[in-house]
Amino acid sequence: MRFPRHRGRLASLACTAALTGSLVVGGTSAAHAAVQPTASTPPPIVPQPVSELAAHGPGFTISATTRIEVTGDDADALGVGRSLAALLHPATGFDLRVSLSRAPEGRAIVLDPEGPASLGTEGYTLSSGARDVRITAHGAEGLFRGIQTLRQLLPGDVESTTLRHDTWTVAPVRITDRPRYAYRGAMLDVARRFFPVADVERYIDQAAAYKMNTLHLHLTDDQGWRIAVDAIPELTGVGGTTQSGFTGGSWYYTKEQYQQIVAYAKARFITVVPEIDGPGHTSAAMASIPGLNCDDKAIPPYSGFGGPGLRMICLTDPQHIANASQYLTTVIDAVAALTPGPYIHIGGDETPQATAAEYNAYVQAASSAVRAQGRTVIGWHQLAQGTLPAGSLLQYWGDSGDRATVGSAHEAADIVEAREGVAQGASFIMSPADRAYMDMRYDASTPYGLSWEGFVPVQKSYDWDPTTVTAKPDGSSPVVAADRIAGVEAALWSDRAYNGSTSLPTSTSQFPEPSVYADFMTFPHLPAIAEIGWSPQSTHDWNSFSVRLAAQAPRWTAAGIGYYAEPGIPWPKLS
Ligand code: TNX
């Protein structure tokens, strides 16, 4: 691994092997010291890098004349350089020059995409001293991840959307970093509550800042259909007229809008995974297409707050299986044509009324449509009840309670289905509902969301490990072995995106703007899950995390993110 010139003397080490507690930013007593980097305390970064060394000496001060130099001739890397300049512009007012350069010299931010292949697609090294800041990666994506770290080495005001007068000094460090898991997702339920494109872009920015690399869009459910499908205009014409608590609108993404989201995500090295849910959670489709119902009559559009098992598409006879198959092929072909990423999510959750044959008819129809488009199937872990194509991914959303049943004569259904998935060769994305469901209320004061998994304060979101989600309580005998875990995903459902969510709403005035709901439930749930996905298990430490998390708050404030200042986190005092 190569490091550039560095003037500072190494002062402390916070690396994987050395993280026994005191060397890291750990300990609540160190809370305020951690916010101001000192010689002995590396700057607080979320997710914790693999290795982070603080250095003595002045940092690198960005001024109006600082150049961003991109080594070599990689257009994508140049794009990353430009996005760094764009990121720095609003708060600093600087229009930093970005250029390709073979041999960068002098005071500059140097982005080098020609680092060793051993860094992997997303790994990077970052070194900063008085003379320069240098990020080295093997390609543009690693540079982009490194820039997310660079942001956190600058004063929090850098996240402001308006001009701030500050000294833009990058804390002096040497960092080596790479992700623990290749799949790190954030899900957004745009079906129960519709999020306009700008709100989805905001969510993408927030996920990218914490080095997530996947946006899973839950595009269809009982309460709404959100993606235009030319061949079946009723899906949006009827299915797009409802949300939970609202009727009479036209709430969906046109093809162009969806492509805008995909492009926005791509520019942030985020892959979009579209979900078409079924065979349950399908009322919007059943209101739009008569032939999906056993009596061939469309149901009225649904705008209620019903939960699991409302109804499912008809799969009882060959004609209706053919109807379902045609619907799924048409929709999946249309969505695949707009989606460059390798995955299509076909749902599969909460269909208690389905017989095994009906359920498998859905899995076959949906998965063969996905395979025909050359894509990989993702489904909720229930999908393992059907026959899966090789190489599928299952999203496990069981909870800690399931673990007590592992290996017993009466294993929880979630565990049985996980076993069936493992036996079929699937890999897993871990979204345990009592940890990674961001719609769970933090505590009794939380105005929005659900609590069917109990409250999920940020420590609960943080204190778990993907390798033991399907293990016995003592951590032994995991049903899903470590080598079958592709990664993690934080899920923001929108069933109850309104004030006073412990009962049903009586007025639409209880609903805040979607981004207000999302900000509050996402921060700080999402950074906790992001760290589980990115950082080595050996760095996992609640005391360290809570201090580093607290140091994020001024950034969120500067960015206008309405987060929940959960009690017990050592948030900096407001000045
Ligand atoms: C369960 S988890 C659901 C969603 C709800 C969520 C609310 C899963 C795959 N299904 O339909 O929105 O709970 O917390």
Q: What is the pLDDT of residue 484?
A: 98
Question: Does the annotation mark 350 as catalytic?
Answer: yes
For residue 93, the enclosing domain spans 51-177
Same domain, 291 and 347: yes
Q: Identify the residue whose C-alpha is closest to ligand 1 atom 8.
A: 349
CA distance 287 to 116: 54
- Mean pLDDT for 178-195 is 98
CA distance 164 to 40: 29
Residue 439: CB within 6 Å of ligand 1? yes
The catalytic residue among 350, 358, 453, 489 is: 350
Tell me how far the alpha carbon of residue 189 lies from the centroid of ligand 1, in angstroms.
9
Tokens in use for 444?
A: 């009794």
Residue 450: CB within 6 Å of ligand 1? yes
Helix (H) or strand (E) holding 407: none
573 occurs within a structural domain: no
37 occurs within a structural domain: no
Q: Closest by alpha carbon to 284, among 194, 202, 388, 196?
A: 194
Q: Identify the residue whose C-alpha is closest to ligand 1 atom 9.
A: 349
Domain boundary among 145, 177, 209: 177
Q: Which of the two residues, 262 and 573, has the higher pLDDT score?
A: 262
Domain boundary among 177, 204, 239: 177
Same domain, 197 and 74: no
Burial 254-287 (b: 16+ CB within 10 A, else e): eeebbbebbebbebbbbbbbbbbbbbbbbbbbbb
Q: What is the pLDDT of residue 35?
A: 40
Closest ligand 1 atom to residue 192 Cα is 12
Q: What is the pLDDT of residue 104?
A: 65
Residue 349: CB within 6 Å of ligand 1? yes
Q: In a mutational test of the pocket of ligand 1, which residue from 243, 244, 349 has the highest number of ligand atoms less than 8 Å from its CB?
A: 349
CA distance 185 to 532: 11
211 occurs within a structural domain: yes
39 occurs within a structural domain: no
CATH number at residue 116: 3.30.379.10
Same domain, 404 and 325: yes
pLDDT band at residue 40 using 50, 70 and 90 as cut-offs: low
Q: What is the pLDDT of residue 5?
A: 24
Same domain, 15 and 87: no
- Mean pLDDT for 380-402 is 97
Residue 493: CB within 6 Å of ligand 1? yes
Same domain, 148 and 261: no
Q: Which residues fall within 8 angstroms of residue 10, CB to CB, at 6 or more apart?
A: 53, 54, 55, 174
Residue 16 has pLDDT above 80, yes or no: no
Domain boundary among 177, 210, 235: 177
Helix (H) or strand (E) holding 539: none
Structural domain count of the chain: 2
Same domain, 19 and 95: no
- Mean pLDDT for 234-252 is 98
Same domain, 312 and 288: yes
Same domain, 126 and 206: no
Record the pTM.
0.93
Q: Closest by alpha carbon to 226, among 218, 45, 514?
A: 218
Pairing, β 67-71 against β 97-101: parallel
Q: What is the pLDDT of residue 4?
A: 26
CA distance 486 to 466: 10
Same domain, 117 and 155: yes
Render pLDDT for 73-110 as a digit per residue (tens, 0 to 9).
999 999 999 999 999 999 999 999 999 987 766 689 99
Closest ligand 1 atom to residue 395 Cα is 9
